[in-house]
Chains A and B, each alone.
Chain A
Amino acid sequence: MADALPPLPVPGPDNVEFWEGCARHELRIQRCRKCRATRFYPRPACPDCGALEHEWITCSGKGTVYTWTVIHPPTLPAFAAIAPYVAGIIQLEEGVFMVGQIRGVASDAVRAGLPVRVEFDDVVEGIALPHWRAA
Chain B
Amino acid sequence: MWFGPRVAERDVAVVGIGQTAFSKGLGISEAEVAHRAISAALDDAGLARGDVDGLCLYDIESNTVPEVARLLGLESVRFFATHSHGGGSYCALVRSGVAALREGHARVVVAFRARNRGRRSSFGPTIAQGGRPWEKIAPRIAGHYQYQVPFGIQSPVQEMALIARRHMLDHGTTEDHLGEVAVAIRSHAVRNPNAVMREPMTLADHHASRWVSEPLRLLDCCIETDGGCALVMTTAERARDCPQPPAWVLATAQALGPAHHRPTDWFRHDRRRWVTAGARALWAAAGVRPDDVDAAMVYDHFTPMVLLALEDWGFCGDGESGAFVERGGIRWPDGRLPVNTHGGQLSEAFIHGFNNLLEAVRQIRGTSTCQVPDAKLAFVASAASDPGGAVLLAR
- Is B152 in contact with chain A by the CB < 8 A criterion? yes
Knowing A72-B210, A87-B158 touch, does A100 contact B151 (C-beta < 8 A)? yes
Stretch among B32-40, B134-142, B325-333 lining the A interface: B134-142
- Is A114 in contact with chain B by the CB < 8 A criterion? no
Stretch among B41-49, B58-66, B231-239, B262-270 lining the A interface: B262-270
Render A99-135 as a binary contact track against B, CB cut-off 8 A, 1 for contact.
1110000010000100000000001000001010000
Partner of B158, one of A5, A6, A69, A96: A69
Number of interface residues of A (CB under 8 A): 39
Partner of A66, one of B210, B267, B269: B267
Determine whether the beta carbon of B151 is less than 8 Å from that of A101. Answer: yes
- Is A56 in contact with chain B by the CB < 8 A criterion? no
Closest to B214 in A: A70
The docked-state distance in angstroms from the alpha carbon of A66 to that of B137 is 26
Closest to A131 in B: B151
Knowing A41-B264, A99-B263 touch, does A71 contact B210 (C-beta < 8 A)? no
Determine whether the beta carbon of A7 is less than 8 Å from that of B150. Answer: yes
The docked-state distance in angstroms from the alpha carbon of A99 to that of B141 is 15
Determine whether the beta carbon of B169 is less than 8 Å from that of A129. Answer: no
Determine whether the beta carbon of B264 is less than 8 Å from that of A97. Answer: yes
Task: Determine the chain B residues whose CB is within 8 A of the CB of A131 once the complex forms.
Answer: 151
Closest to B259 in A: A47
Determine whether the beta carbon of B152 is less than 8 Å from that of A40. Answer: no
- Is B147 in contact with chain A by the CB < 8 A criterion? yes
Closest to A77 in B: B135
The docked-state distance in angstroms from the alpha carbon of A129 to that of B138 is 17
What's the minimum C-beta distance from A14 to chain B, rounded to whole angstroms? 10
Determine whether the beta carbon of B152 is less than 8 Å from that of A96. Answer: no
Knowing A7-B137, A7-B149 touch, does A98 contact B264 (C-beta < 8 A)? yes
Closest to A5 in B: B139
The docked-state distance in angstroms from the alpha carbon of A87 to that of B141 is 19
What's the minimum C-beta distance from B388 to chain A, rounded to whole angstroms? 18
Determine whether the beta carbon of A7 is less than 8 Å from that of B138. Answer: yes
Determine whether the beta carbon of B264 is less than 8 Å from that of A40. Answer: yes
What's the minimum C-beta distance from A93 to chain B, rounded to whole angstroms? 15
Determine whether the beta carbon of A85 is less than 8 Å from that of B264. Answer: no
Partner of B258, one of A5, A15, A47: A47
What's the minimum C-beta distance from B221 to chain A, rounded to whole angstroms? 12
Knowing A96-B268, A99-B264 touch, does A71 contact B151 (C-beta < 8 A)? no
Partner of A10, one of B146, B151, B161: B146
- Is A76 in contact with chain B by the CB < 8 A criterion? yes
Task: Determine the chain B residues whose CB is within 8 A of the CB of A47 once the complex forms.
Answer: 258, 265, 268-269
Partner of A87, one of B135, B138, B140, B153: B153
Task: Determine the chain A residues whose CB is within 8 A of the CB of B255 once the complex forms.
Answer: none
The docked-state distance in angstroms from the alpha carbon of A47 to that of B166 is 23
- Is B256 in contact with chain A by the CB < 8 A criterion? no
Partner of A71, one of B138, B144, B147, B152: B152
The docked-state distance in angstroms from the alpha carbon of A97 to that of B163 is 13
Task: Determine the chain A residues whose CB is within 8 A of the CB of B140 once the complex forms.
Answer: 7-10
- Is B174 in contact with chain A by the CB < 8 A criterion? no
What's the minimum C-beta distance from A50 to chain B, rounded to whole angstroms? 11
Task: Determine the chain A residues whose CB is within 8 A of the CB of B264 once the complex forms.
Answer: 40-41, 89, 96-99
Knowing A47-B258, A87-B151 touch, does A67 contact B211 (C-beta < 8 A)? no
Determine whether the beta carbon of A88 is less than 8 Å from that of B162. Answer: yes
The docked-state distance in angstroms from the alpha carbon of A81 to that of B351 is 32
- Is B323 in contact with chain A by the CB < 8 A criterion? no
Task: Determine the chain B residues whose CB is within 8 A of the CB of A8 once the complex forms.
Answer: 139-141, 146, 150
Determine whether the beta carbon of B141 is less than 8 Å from that of A112. Answer: no
Q: Which of B152, B154, B211, B262 has the most CB of A within 10 A?
A: B152
The docked-state distance in angstroms from the alpha carbon of A76 to that of B139 is 11
What's the minimum C-beta distance from B278 to chain A, rounded to whole angstroms? 19
Render B267-297 as a binary contact track against A, CB cut-off 8 A, 1 for contact.
1110000000000000000000000000000
Render B208-232 as a binary contact track against A, CB cut-off 8 A, 1 for contact.
0011111110000000000000000
Determine whether the beta carbon of B144 is less than 8 Å from that of A41. Answer: yes
Closest to B147 in A: A41
Interface positions of A from 34 to 93, Cβ below 8 Å from B: 40-41, 47, 66-72, 74-76, 79, 84-85, 87-89, 91
What's the minimum C-beta distance from B222 to chain A, rounded to whole angstroms? 16
What's the minimum C-beta distance from B156 to chain A, rounded to whole angstroms? 12
What's the minimum C-beta distance from A28 to chain B, rounded to whole angstroms? 13
16 CB contacts below 8 A, A to B, read A12-B142, A15-B146, A40-B264, A67-B169, A68-B162, A68-B165, A70-B214, A71-B161, A72-B211, A72-B213, A72-B214, A87-B151, A87-B152, A89-B267, A98-B147, A99-B263
Interface residues of A (CB under 8 A from B): 5-10, 12, 15, 40-41, 47, 66-72, 74-76, 79, 84-85, 87-89, 91, 96-101, 107, 112, 123, 129, 131
Q: Known pairs A47-B269, A98-B147. 4 more at Cβ < 8 A? A: A10-B146, A15-B146, A67-B165, A76-B134
